[in-house]
Amino acid sequence: MIEIKLVNHKERIEELVDLFNIVMRQNQEKISLDFWKWKHLENPLNSSDPKLIVAEDGARIIGARAFMLAEFMLEDNKVKVAQLCDAMVHPDYRRQGIFKKMNDLVISYCTEQGICFFYGFPGTMNPLLRNRVLQKVLPIEYLLRVNNPSTVIAQKLRNPALGNTLGFFYNKLYHRQPKISEKEKQSFTVELFDYFPEALKEIDTLYDINNIELVRSEIYFKWRFDRHPVFKYKYLLARQGEELKGYALISTNQSNNGLITGRIVDYLVKDNDLDCFRILMAQALEELEKSSCDIIFVWEMRNQKFRQELLKRFGFKSSFAFPYQRFMEESYLVARKLNQNLTHKVDIYNPANWNLTMLYPDTT
């Protein structure tokens, strides 16, 4: 008989990793025990005895419903939220309602634990959307800059000769180098760091109190980025005199298909200063291009001035536009209120209240 229950997460890690690698084997590389421990047990917001929802057949785990804790600012309230992630049901046990039962338990458990709301980034076929466990807030738009079009096109079309030809014309038509004036450069001092810099302890001065903001604390940065077992990150800090005016977080990674992918994972700019934004983006691109990135991604779905800068000055293209939408999987920001009292002032279902970057998904 299949039982849906809470278990001690620390005691079942090996079973969970084995199940994950069975369920996800067609979509991604296998994950290691160390990666799972880092992601799900070393989160500084976890309790000393973290729990997990699983489905068991006898003593065997055949399903699991994981989540990652985070802190968000809702106006002047700091609240604890949970990102639903790494849900899995063994292929032999699907279409038995197990996923729904696990979701029912995670909702009741997290509500009891004082979690304010759930959020996540599922694809269109994810059961979270089909079963309306979470509500769609907005579609996710990637902005992408193709630095090496011949390589990218050849990989996507699996035709090197055609990739070289189309890449040549793509470069002629679309590729541009951002131009930043000397006056703009002299207005800010930008520094690069391999690990969390002391000056970034002032990051809360960059928050927009009108947004739903993920809390970026020192302990959070050091766990999620400085100690990430796979990706390496770099921090960019922009100052005007002694004042912190903006920051960006960047990363590179070589994908399974051989492409080198760059990501502007996160950025904050005080008072939405457009000049500071330009300087940060120019410096971020310069650093990523030193790593020979074939393609660079960034999110900007709220600030239209920033978005237009990325499209027009920096040569990014929208994943919603042809032909990019053919190669990008659709996904959405989704959410669900759990605690009505803590969210009554802020509508988490209003896209305008979210200032999303690639920091927010668990996969970055």
The C-alpha angle 300, 301, 305, rounded to 5 degrees, equals: 70
Task: Burial-class residue 25 by CB neighbours within 10 Å (0-12, 13-18, 19+).
Answer: exposed
Q: How far is CA 204 from CA 143, 217, 330, in A?
A: 26, 8, 32
User: What percent of the chain is predicted at pLDDT more than 70?
Assistant: 91
Show me where the domains of the chain are located: 2-140+332-349, 143-326
Per-residue tokens: 185: 């450069």
pLDDT of residue 322: 86
For the domain 2-140+332-349, what is the CATH code?
3.40.630.30
pLDDT tens digits, one per residue of 274-288: 999 999 999 999 999
pLDDT exceeds 90 at position 263? yes
pLDDT exceeds 90 at position 177? no
pLDDT tens digits, one per residue of 7-38: 999 999 999 999 999 998 756 678 899 999 99
pLDDT tens digits, one per residue of 273-327: 999 999 999 999 999 999 999 999 999 999 999 999 999 999 999 999 988 888 8
Reported as a pLDDT band with limits 50, 70 and 90, residue 151 is confident
pLDDT tens digits, one per residue of 94-106: 999 999 999 999 9
Reported as a pLDDT band with limits 50, 70 and 90, residue 140 is very high
| Fold match flag (2-140+332-349 vs 143-326) | yes
Beta bridge partners of 80: 71
Beta bridge partners of 190: 238
What is the CATH architecture of 143-326?
A: 3-Layer(aba) Sandwich (3.40)
Q: What is the mean pLDDT of residues 191-201?
A: 97
Radius of gyration of the chain (CA): 21
Q: What is the mean pLDDT of residues 115-124?
A: 90
